[in-house]
Structure 1
Amino acid sequence: MDPDTFRSDIGVDVYWRRRMAALVGVLVVVAVVAWACSSSGPERASKGQAELSGSPTPDPIVTVMPTVTITPSPSPTASSGKARPVTRAKRPGDACESSDLVLNMQGLGEVYTQDSRPRFILTLVNIGKVMCTADVGPRAMEVRITSGSDRVWSSADCVSGDTDDIRKLDRGVPYVREVEWDRRRSGGDCAADRDSALAGTYVAMARSPGLKSRKAVFHLR
């Protein structure tokens, strides 16, 4: 090297600083290139192969989740070894169950003057699957009239003779009966004179074993 090289105007220190800066720059470039080559290596190749094969990379959360198998529990009949009781199908002509019947009553008026008697229409309908029989006599299907807590009259009072009236009820075909009240009180003593009911407000209701109709409110003048 020419001994006069360092005698230039830049000086020795400045010269070596420039040489070191150039060397560091070259090293940085080499490091960046090496990192780029390593990041595009096997990992990217494996991702590309997964995309080409159509198999997505498994989710690590899903991979560690346990597999749950639901096994249906045995039925009570199978586990206990006992058969469930079989309900016998109702045959046509059997006695009606209260759950198969609908009882209703409708008053034919709301206000009755002194020369008119209250009248009511009773209907009993079989809603069961088959024809059944029911007692629709005056005691089995009673009409009761009250005024507050006062029991004024009942169709079941002072009934003589055979009071049973067994009827066949076809499904959906109502049994219809009309009941008339003579405006007199009734009670346990059928031999006593019956007093006339006073003017006022009354409530009528039909009753049968396990059944009640809606209330019918009316007035006597």
Structure 2
Amino acid sequence: MGVDTGRGSGGSGLDRYWRRRVVALAMGLGAVGVLAWACADGEDEPRRRANAARSDPPPTAMPTVTVTRTVIRSAEPVAEGGRCAAKNLVVSLAASRDTYTGRDAPRFRVSVVNAGEGECTWDAGSLDVRVASGDDRIWSSARCRRGGGGRAENTRRTLRRGIPYVDTVGWDRRRGCGGARVRPGTYVVALKGAGKQVFQLR
């Protein structure tokens, strides 16, 4: 009777020991499971946010970009033998002398040079040599040429690059075209694009 009682009480203590071990093991496994769940949930959070961002609808108002294209047209080149551009012509004027005495008629040398790339056509009739005394306009070569009558002269000239066109314009010392002779004094001859030159009549 004493032996059976000892076993019963020893067996009861052993059962309690194993129950405590099982409970402790179960709690440890439970803690590990909770920790694993928390980690997995934390790793999935960025994925959920990224998926939510991708699933968001695009904004309804999009910025508008306006593209403006400017077309600049270059000047059309002048064909070989075309009309000379005024900016390509170098014009010079010189009186044959500074002083003219008696009945000597002043003579003026005109030179026109084409500084363009190729040859071009120019109207020599556009030259207008003018003589004045102060504000008094006395004579114009172009006006007298137009009022000369007779058959019209072809004044078209072909100017090659760098080769001057030279002409001599004479004045008969008269006012206008065939008017009265002017008095001795100081006069100025001028040509557009070539400046002025002073000379004397005696």
Query: Could you give the per-residue CA deviations for residues 143-168 of structure 1, whole angstroms, max 9, x where no partner exists?
Result: 11000011111112223231540000
User: How far off is 1:88 after superposition?
Assistant: 2.0
Mark the runs of 5 or more structure 1 residues left unpaired by the alignment.
Answer: 1-78, 188-192
Counterpart of 1:202? 187
Q: Secondary structure at the match of 1:204?
A: strand
Structure 1 length-normalised TM: 0.56
* Max Rg structure: 2
Q: Which residue matches 1:175?
A: 165
**Partner of 2:195: helix, strand, or coil?**
coil
Q: Distance in 1 between matches of 2:129 and 2:154?
A: 15
Q: Give the number of aligned pairs.
A: 132
3-state DSSP of counterpart to 2:83: coil
CA contact (8 A) 1:90 1:130 kept: no
> CA offsets per residue over residues 50-95 of structure 1, 9 Å max, x none?
xxxxxxxxxxxxxxxxxxxxxxxxxxxxx63233212222211111
User: For 1:102 and 1:159, how far apart are their aligned partners in 2?
Assistant: 28
Q: CA deviation at 1:220?
A: 0.3
3-state SS of 1:205 partner: strand
Q: Give ranges in structure 2 of 5+ residues lacking alignment.
A: 1-66
* Aligned partner letter, 1:176: V
CA distance in 1, matches of 2:180, 2:163: 39
Could you tell me which residue of structure 2 aligns to residue 99 of structure 1? 87
The 2-side partners of 1:135 and 1:182 are apart by 24
Partners of 1:201 and 1:165 lie apart in 2 by 32
Give % identity: 36
More helix by share: 2
The answer to whether residue 140 in structure 2 is matched with residue 159 in structure 1 is no
Find 1:130's aligned residue among 96, 115, 118.
118
Q: TM-score, normalised by structure 2?
A: 0.61
Moved over 3 A (4+): none
Alignment correspondent of 2:97: 109
